[in-house]
Structure 1
């Protein structure tokens, strides 16, 4: 593995990525490649660039923080991809590249111009990652979509929220981010295969497909029972107790993953008799009597504070946590100890960023450079391509 003394581990050093994507899924994937050491060039339209540059407030300098969150470590060049000159330059870039990432709207002119079949024929070494809303086949394949559309169409909103309440999206953009992460996995696998065969390939994923992939136990529950699942608030469909409970001054979560932990919880609460209650003896019993269990635990936990219960349950090795806000997490000593917040030098001053969440040999990839200004590297990057004719 390549080690950069300034940036840390760089397992993808030498890999060149051309980023033709925008918004979140594609840019998050390409930022991940950049964090891992790849050379990533972001191609943006001369007028405005990536729309997320204006998804604010808040802003830092000219750019919205939304854009700044998913574009570090890249170089930005501006090209009109609908022009002959822009297309010629991009194809020259792709001759040098290993990976291209795009999320062109289905049926759009750009999708037709950069059709993967033509790209594969012209650049057989290239790994092409295409991210869409609903995939390349099927009745919905030509539909555009944003994260919340995928969360609604893919079932997440039907499983999120309180029982009987209004549907809710997740706090994170799980449609886009899920597609980004599966897209990264697909590209890395394709690069490994290219190492054996010498040929790239067309890799596709979609927000909808990745929502289904993340159903996991919800899907197998349904396949086994054919019963439509519904939102359970913070509760778990297969474990109990495994949810948030109100203490006297707020909420905290308890996660009992096996019957032994249930015994420990009962001891910690000073209610050892509950461990032998036939309604709660095994996990399957607690699921069957979920309402009774919730009523009993709610009464017990309401007698003291979040701080008290977290301390007592920790002493008995029962998984527990207060429900923390982001400012509390970012100021937490544990967050600092694992190095999950770093700083890059931005034109407006030091810019804090969340780091890549994987260590290599005990070392984390360091943040390499700030998200680029619109077209910041156009002249430097494109100098050698503009002068070449095809």
Structure 2
């Protein structure tokens, strides 16, 4: 069962990364997504926020409500800031920058997503901190990377989805009556994939450091990650010089592999091999289609897509969603419904896999969060503290990590250096 420890300063971390401390100078999504992965796996993550806090605290509605039913942070903030300590430091102030440098001396990892060279003027860039802590793994997340003609540009997920090619292949196909309209995905997928690449790269750098004692700088760009995630569509162009186009729910390399209309909605049918196609034809009583040379192999089905799809659509229109899913599952043909988000969280598989983790933070706000998806047999992810209030851990960190007394802390608060 997941560990639903109470929120607050974490003193009992477990997990494969429980020996690591992360300074998180990132905000919005890609960087916080990175550091929540590390936090769920046991790392101590100190989220350094400005006095006004991470922008996503205000990206609502909907908003959380505390015990007094007062609105607080936006739900958006809660998706990627679990298991972190919130510490408010204004490092544009020299005293604040010095506090961060002191913390960096003993940190294992630092993650930031400022513009290229944006932290240099504060002495918080990689070169400056590497001199103080050669073991530090420092990950910079930007829109376009530290080099190249676009390096100075700001990069947001929507922009990257467009420039990185994803929007050119997402959406309904062009018809004689309707040009194709470019569409982004329903979540900030370029940010999320960048977070996953960044977390993977950080762990690789930690493995290198464990062998050599050397930290390093990781340059992770949303644009690069989006290009990498083009996967088969990128290869289709590089190898075959075929320009991928929007295909709606069709697959460029597989048939049948799409959503089909049935009597009461739609059903996804995803045949990944010839055996599954034969089974589909048997269920639909289309045995002659299954043995027709035009359709026997996937390559032939792709070549004769329109003819086959018309036959399948006509036959499937006679079934209800429940009826065809039950028959196809019995025949081991991959299929399923198109769920709404409420449907997803009502699904018994989601409950069985414990994918919703209820948490409560110090102001009484109840925060349901989504679990870390991988299941470890020996060192499972843990859920130790809810996404924190702004500045929830500032005073505790100053006192226990930096050994400041109450008078010194109060002076920093009054000066606006911390909050």
TM-score by length of 1: 0.95
1:60 to 56, 61, 64: 64
Partners of 2:205 and 2:260 lie apart in 1 by 45
- 1:119-140 Cα offsets, whole Å, 9 max, x none, are 2222211000110101111111
Q: Say yes or no: does 1:366 pair with 2:412.
A: no
Partners of 2:375 and 2:262 lie apart in 1 by 37
2:358 to 332, 343, 354: 343
- 1:339-359 Cα offsets, whole Å, 9 max, x none, are 111111123343211000111
**Alignment-derived partner of residue 14 in structure 1:** 19
Cα distance change of structure 1 residues 363 and 121 upon mapping to structure 2, 3 Å threshold: closer
| Contact 1:8/1:365 (8 A) holds in 2 | no
| Contact 1:351/1:370 (8 A) holds in 2 | yes
Partners of 1:348 and 1:369 lie apart in 2 by 13
Cα distance change of structure 1 residues 312 and 362 upon mapping to structure 2, 3 Å threshold: farther
Partners of 1:126 and 1:363 lie apart in 2 by 24
1:135 to 138, 142, 145: 145
Partners of 2:211 and 2:117 lie apart in 1 by 34
The correspondence of residues 303-342 of structure 1 with structure 2, limited to 5 A, is 303-342=318-357
3-state SS, counterpart of residue 385 of structure 1: coil
Cα distance change of structure 1 residues 112 and 135 upon mapping to structure 2, 3 Å threshold: farther
2:216 to 201, 210, 221: 201
1:295 shift after superposition: 1.1
3-state SS, counterpart of residue 86 of structure 2: strand
Q: Say yes or no: does 1:102 pair with 2:112.
A: yes
| Contact 1:82/1:110 (8 A) holds in 2 | no
CA-atom RMSD in angstroms: 2.0
| Contact 1:19/1:42 (8 A) holds in 2 | yes
Ranges in structure 2 where 5+ consecutive residues have no aligned partner: 6-11, 66-71, 175-179, 409-419
**Alignment-derived partner of residue 414 in structure 2:** none
TM-score by length of 2: 0.88
1:364 shift after superposition: 3.8
1:369 shift after superposition: 0.7
Q: Say yes or no: does 1:31 pair with 2:36.
A: yes
Compare relative contact order (CA 8 Å, sep 6+) and give the higher one, 1 or 2: 2
Partners of 2:140 and 2:121 lie apart in 1 by 10
Partners of 1:227 and 1:90 lie apart in 2 by 50
Cα distance change of structure 1 residues 112 and 103 upon mapping to structure 2, 3 Å threshold: same
- 1:323-351 Cα offsets, whole Å, 9 max, x none, are 01111111111111111111111233432
Deviates more, 1:130-139 or 1:110-119: 110-119
The correspondence of residues 153-302 of structure 1 with structure 2, limited to 5 A, is 153-164=163-174, 165-302=180-317
Partners of 2:104 and 2:398 lie apart in 1 by 12
**Alignment-derived partner of residue 160 in structure 2:** 150
Partners of 1:40 and 1:147 lie apart in 2 by 24
1:114 shift after superposition: 2.4
Ranges in structure 1 where 5+ consecutive residues have no aligned partner: none
Q: Say yes or no: does 1:50 pair with 2:65.
A: no
3-state SS, counterpart of residue 324 of structure 1: coil
1:305 shift after superposition: 1.2
Partners of 2:305 and 2:403 lie apart in 1 by 67
Deviates more, 1:323-332 or 1:258-267: 323-332
| Contact 1:78/1:378 (8 A) holds in 2 | yes
Partners of 1:63 and 1:71 lie apart in 2 by 12
Partners of 1:198 and 1:18 lie apart in 2 by 19
- 1:196-242 Cα offsets, whole Å, 9 max, x none, are 11111001211111111111111111112212110111111111101
| Contact 1:104/1:110 (8 A) holds in 2 | no
Partners of 2:265 and 2:253 lie apart in 1 by 25
- 1:125-182 Cα offsets, whole Å, 9 max, x none, are 1000110101111111111011111100101111100111211101121110010000
**Alignment-derived partner of residue 385 in structure 1:** 402
